Amino acid sequence: MTDARADAFPPASPLDQDFSRPGRKAGRRSGWRLVRGAWRLLVGIKDFLVLAAMLLFFGLIFAALNARPGTKAITDGALLLKLDGPVVEQPEAIAPFAMLSGRGRPREFRLRDVVRAIDAAKGDSRVKAVVLDLDSFGGAYPAALQEIGDAMARVRQSGKPVLTYATAYTDGAYRLAAHASEIWVNPLGGTLFTGPGGNQLYYKGLIDKLGVTTHVYRVGKFKSFVEPYIRTDQSPDARAASQALYGTLFAQWRESIAKARPRAQLAGFLAQPDRAILASGGNIADANLKAGLVDKLGDRMAFGKRIAEIAGVENAKPAGSFRTIGYDAWVRANPLPTKGDAIGVVTIAGSIVDGEGGPGTAAGETISKALLDGLATKKLKALVVRVDSPGGSVLASEQIRQAILEAKRQKLPIVVSMGGLAASGGYWVSTPADVIFAEPGTITGSIGIFGLIPSFENTLAKIGVTTDGVKTTPLTGQPDVLGGFTPMLDTILQAGIENGYRQFLARVAESRRMTPEKVDTIAQGRVWDGGTARQIGLVDRFGNLSDAIAEAARRAKLDPAKVYPEYLEKKPGFAAELVQGFGNDDDSTDNGGDVFAIAAAERRAVAARALGDVQRLVRGGSVQAKCLECGALGPMASASDERLLDLLIARLGL
């Protein structure tokens, strides 16, 4: 007899079917075992990730707590500055958990901290010597190198020895080393001087092969930033301007070396280095020694023993160890002053971009907000604008300029301090100044703007793809990056660029008390060194940041000895501070290589900078005021550019 209830309530799913047969029971047990095994695997992975995150988190906290001021007493020894990275105006923020990427990143050193550390050593009896380890030095702009070199010279004048070591010195590293009382080089290393300049990548051939059309709108015959995208070589105007700029900066480099080491036979090593090296049997280090470019040949152990003679031996450590005062602990033990009247200092460092951004990037929204908040909440007596930027977005530059003008409307004296670089947009934001300070080696000017937009109609045509549609106005669908731009749009965009250039000229003319026509003769996108910029009226005085702060105090009718700098900048988050504390390692043993390794690193940096420029150009999305020549004169490459290159290499499987 049929069970009526079974007909009334049929099985809801296959799992509820009749499993009375042995095969179905075994299949069900096997399926559940598979599910349970997968579940246990997922739980295990989850537990491992949670445990790893907790260990890393508490490790960061432990490192940060151990890095607090006062936890490590400063004892007698040699102050060690292991500059294993570039010196910049404002280091990029370290992304939380960035160390999990597997590849170490060069550390960026803040210029004012390096100079303050060296100056503080001058009068402190605990510091027996200042030691610069330049084996992995990442470079700096000429003005920054000179400022550090001057600080080293002040220590020597106080009677304390300054010693440097490297396996091989670059031009920038040697500019620092020249100010030392003893220059050491590894016997298997040496130095070759190359001077500023070198080749640059041009993409026009690749762009043509891909069928990409580059629509360029610019003003200024020297505005060369767009040339790599529209030419296969350097234009005559850009070449002439670069030759003048590089020639002046190289002359300053030679003058700095000759002044610091008058007995060094530098001329022969610049004109015919092969003759000097062949005369030493190919031994570059020996040739350096004979020419008086270095004082001692020795490996790291020999150098350490020499420092130990001055600063004392470090007990229970390997041969070559010496009593050391770590850089990070020393900087914390010598903080910036906080007593007296506050002079606001806003830092504009890195490429100027729209929106928000962290340290090392001059984001218009972030900087303007920090400045306006400082004006509202701090009792500022004057404002110093510290600029170290190649420029970037005109929109962001104007946003920052308007925030600076607000300080001017509040009757605060405005003083601009140009660091290694204040070009294009970096000069745009300087125009509200009452007075502009720069160094002879500062790179500035580049007064000009441009816009660049690619379109791909020819690229698509190569694979048989076309576009068509209905237009209701002459500008419908424009700018059409797939179907191409119309002549009318090109005319409008070029007119907008020309109008922006006239505004740039007008701002400079008002600031420098010139006519727009006069400014145009020294503008056109041309880049100038600080010395020439002062002669033509773009800069008022020579001086560093401290000089600018003192001038701001005087203009506010204050005693420069009774003021302190109040830095108006976004503070790093808690996670970033933990990562920074975890990453500080004064005893790092990551050393550089010989001249071949340095050459490879510099070529890698060229590729990284080029990729970074392309990315910034594509993502810029606005009219740009930026300097092309500036990148080849400063630090090797930023951390973000290095990360981009690493990503490309990984994707290509190289």
Which residues participate in catalysis according to the annotation? 223, 424
The DSSP H or E segment spanning 6 is helix 4-8
Q: Are the C-beta atoms of residues 197 and 424 closer than 8 Å to each other? A: no
Token duo for residue 596: 């071949």
Helix axes of 574-583 and 22-66: crossing angle, nearest 10 degrees:
80
CA distance 530 to 158: 29
- Output the DSSP codes for 361-423: SEEHHHHHHHHHHHHHHS-EEEEEEEEEE-EEEHHHHHHHHHHHHHHHHTT--EEEEEEEEEE
Cα angle: 73, vertex 74, 78; to 5 degrees: 150
**624-626 and 391-393 beta bridge pairing:** antiparallel
φ, ψ for residue 246, nearest 5 deg:
-65, -35
DSSP 8-state code for residue 572: P
**Torsion sign (Cα): 207, 230, 391, 397:** negative
| Helices assigned H by DSSP within 158-214 | 171-177, 204-210
Selection from 122, 116, 120, 119 nearest residue 160 by Cα: 122
Q: Coil, helix or strand for 61?
A: helix
| Helices assigned H by DSSP within 465-558 | 487-512, 516-522, 530-535, 545-555
| Half-sphere exposure for 84 (CA within 13 Å, toward CB) | 20
Task: Tell me which amino acid residue 93 is.
Answer: A
CA distance 499 to 507: 13
The DSSP H or E segment spanning 147 is helix 142-157
CA distance 609 to 606: 5
270 to 21, 201, 246, 280, 636: CA distances (angstroms): 93, 26, 15, 16, 22
CA distance 111 to 633: 16
Q: Are the C-beta atoms of residues 215 and 457 closer than 8 Å to each other? A: no
Residue labelled with tokens 């290095």: 642
228 to 204, 452, 520: CA distances (angstroms): 6, 12, 24
Q: Are the C-beta atoms of residues 391 and 629 closer than 8 Å to each other? A: no
Q: Within 10 Å of residue 299's Cβ, how many Cβ atoms?
A: 16
CA distance 297 to 278: 18
CA distance 223 to 201: 16
- Output the DSSP codes for 590-618: -----HHHHHHHHHHHHHHHHHHHHHHHH
CA distance 321 to 323: 7
CA distance 347 to 78: 32
User: What are the contacts of 303-308 at 24+ separation with CB within 8 A?
Assistant: 303/163, 303/165, 303/184, 306/163, 306/182, 306/184, 307/78, 307/129, 307/131, 307/163
**Torsion sign (Cα): 17, 18, 19, 22:** negative
